[in-house]
């Protein structure tokens, strides 16, 4: 791997501290972030939304109206240490989560988090999940991937614009510090959950550029400074996301919850940046029409709140496969819309875990079926069959550059049932 010598910027420093974790990282990160006053949450949490995943109202909105993801992320998968959860353990977990909510305001300036549970977790109970919950075990979603199919019991997703906030929250959850932002922790996960792993990452203009010295990204600093993600383009335009309502479970005991897919994707961007020119990248990320018309400037900030890959683009896909010999990622995805919008809400972020460029692809949907249907459209099977230029992974959106290493599915319950739920709470 090429190592470049350059002074370590604040953005790169905070990213590395989040990746390392631990008490020393918390204080180093706090110093680098200028010891900001991070607002606390209220004493009375009764005004908090029933949906754990209702983050959008607490996130920043860009000048043009896009909901902006928090900058720093931590995913902590856990295994439950007991046999079947007891009321005491449930109380301990709930008290831990409430302590986080008292400690930090529920916003990008404070802390946003969700806690969710896997099919493997629910398998320990005699009862089954209700029909209103679509939560199969994870599986491979293309013929050319062999991901590790995870069976951790639960996962917590912590997110904040401050690296030290997600790190300190992790320490407090694990019982390594008794106070958080000046508030006492009423409990911790110690003795109930074992942390199985830690996955870290970031999203936001400038952060990928500052952290591109990793495997999977070619020399020459190709990741542009204005890009919030490694591949050089913005993602998650507000009009190209499912609404929080669309992904919320409507009926049954888990109404107000959602389902979550968490995959770990490795990126190999040599060919993306070296073999391809910008026009080809635009064609493969968006669609050939966008490339031909020069619709995307820079990372795509000029597009506003909509990638402008519309139904017409989606309908033209067979013709584009024949005419241009390549089809776009968004173009394929746009075929799975309902009432003009996608059916999944993406909350993915980039990562340099293990010294490799990657994506932790976190998405929310009413049922896992909605994710599978969307992901299967990404395979472009019809065009692979009908157009000789379109191969399983080549000229087929961004599939050539991404490698799915892990997949996991979770039920993300409403707040009321977020602590060790039974299948019939």
Q: Is 415 helix (H, G, I), strand (E, B) or coil?
A: helix
Q: Is 329 in the site for ligand HEM (CB under 6 A)?
A: yes
Q: Is 29 in the site for ligand HEM (CB under 6 A)?
A: no
Q: How far is the CB of 261 from ligand HEM (least distance, A)?
A: 8
Per-residue mark of binding to ligand HEM, 265-284 (x: CB under 6 A): x-------------------
Q: Which of 99, 260, 330, 351 binds ligand HEM (CB under 6 A)?
A: 330
Q: Is 342 in the site for ligand HEM (CB under 6 A)?
A: yes
d(CA 285, CA 421): 40
Q: Is 378 in the site for ligand HEM (CB under 6 A)?
A: yes
Q: Across-strand partners of 409?
A: 261
Q: What pairing do the DSSP bridges indicate for beta strands 72-80 and 112-117?
A: unpaired
Residue 127 burial class via C-beta count within 10 angstroms: exposed 0-12, middle 13-18, buried 19 and up: exposed
Instruction: Report residue 132 as tokens.
Output: 């209103």
Element at 397 (helix H, strand E): none
DSSP states of 229-271 as a string? STTSS----GGGS--TTTTS--SSTTTT-EEEEEEEEEE--HI
Q: Is 235 in the site for ligand HEM (CB under 6 A)?
A: yes
Q: Which of 111, 172, 364, 402 binds ligand HEM (CB under 6 A)?
A: 402
Q: How far is the CB of 377 from ligand HEM (least distance, A)?
A: 8
d(CA 331, CA 83): 46
Q: How far is the CB of 397 from ligand HEM (least distance, A)?
A: 9
d(CA 358, CA 217): 10
Total binding residues toward ligand HEM, as defined by CB under 6 A? 26
Stretch in the footprint of ligand HEM (CB under 6 A) among 187-195, 212-220, 234-242, 410-418: 234-242
**Cα–chain-centroid distance for residue 321?**
30
Q: Taken in order 271, 276, 277, 278, is the CA torsion positive or negative?
A: negative
Q: Is 124 in the site for ligand HEM (CB under 6 A)?
A: no
Q: How far is the CB of 278 from ligand HEM (least distance, A)?
A: 14
Residues in CB range of 317: below 8 A, 6 or more apart: 287, 327, 331, 332, 335, 383
Instruction: Report residue 194 as tokens.
Output: 């074992």
Stretch in the footprint of ligand HEM (CB under 6 A) among 106-114, 243-251, 373-381, 416-424: 373-381
For residues 73-92, which are near ligand HEM according to CB under 6 A? none
Compare residues 13 and 233 and give the one whose CB is closer to ligand HEM: 233
Which of 412, 417, 333 has its CA nearest to residue 377?
333
Q: Which of 162, 361, 403, 410 binds ligand HEM (CB under 6 A)?
A: 361
Q: How far is the CB of 300 from ligand HEM (least distance, A)?
A: 7
Number of Cβ within a 10 Å radius of residue 304: 15
Q: How far is the CB of 313 from ligand HEM (least distance, A)?
A: 9
Residues that bind ligand HEM (CB under 6 A): 229, 231, 233, 235-237, 240, 265, 285, 307, 309, 329-330, 333-334, 337, 342, 344, 346, 359, 361, 374-375, 378, 398, 402
């Amino acid at each position: 791997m090429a190592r470049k010598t350059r002074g370590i910027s604040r953005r790169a420093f905070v990213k590395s501290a989040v990746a390392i974790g631990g008490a020393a990282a918390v204080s180093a990160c706090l110093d680098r972030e200028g010891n900001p006053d991070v607002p606390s949450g209220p004493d009375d949490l009764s005004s908090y939304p029933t949906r754990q995943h209702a983050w959008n109202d607490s996130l920043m909105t860009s000048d043009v109206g896009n909901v902006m993801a928090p900058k720093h992320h931590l995913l902590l998968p856990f295994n439950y240490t007991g046999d079947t959860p007891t009321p005491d353990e449930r109380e301990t977990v709930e008290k831990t989560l409430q302590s986080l909510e008292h400690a930090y305001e529920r916003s990008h300036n404070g802390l946003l988090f969700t806690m969710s549970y896997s099919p493997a977790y629910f398998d320990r109970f005699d009862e089954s999940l209700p029909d209103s919950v679509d939560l199969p075990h994870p599986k491979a979603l293309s013929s050319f991937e062999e991901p590790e199919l995870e069976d951790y019991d639960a996962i917590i997703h912590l997110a904040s614009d401050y690296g030290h906030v997600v790190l300190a929250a992790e320490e407090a959850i694990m019982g390594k510090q008794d106070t958080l932002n000046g508030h006492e922790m009423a409990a911790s996960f110690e003795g109930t959950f074992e942390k199985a792993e830690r996955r870290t990452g970031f999203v936001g203009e400038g952060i990928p550029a500052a952290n591109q010295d990793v495997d999977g990204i070619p020399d020459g600093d190709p990741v542009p400074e204005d890009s919030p993600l490694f591949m050089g383009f913005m993602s998650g335009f507000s009009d190209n996301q499912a609404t929080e309502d669309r992904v919320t479970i409507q009926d049954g005991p888990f109404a107000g919850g959602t389902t979550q897919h968490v995959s770990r994707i490795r990126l190999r961007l040599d060919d993306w940046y070296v073999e391809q020119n910008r026009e080809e990248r635009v064609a493969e990320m968006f669609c050939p029409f966008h490339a031909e018309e020069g619709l995307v400037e820079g990372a795509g900030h000029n597009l506003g709140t909509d990638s402008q890959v519309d139904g017409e683009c989606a309908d033209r896909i067979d013709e584009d496969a024949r005419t241009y010999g390549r089809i776009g990622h968004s173009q394929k995805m746009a075929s799975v819309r309902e009432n003009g919008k996608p059916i999944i809400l993406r909350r993915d972020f980039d990562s340099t875990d293990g010294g490799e460029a990657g994506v932790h692809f976190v998405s929310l949907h009413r049922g896992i079926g909605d994710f599978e249907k969307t992901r299967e459209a990404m395979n472009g099977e019809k065009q692979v069959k009908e157009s000789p230029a379109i191969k399983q992974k080549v000229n087929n959106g961004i599939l050539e550059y991404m490698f799915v290493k892990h997949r996991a599915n979770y039920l993300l319950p409403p707040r009321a049932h977020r602590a060790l739920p039974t299948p019939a709470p």
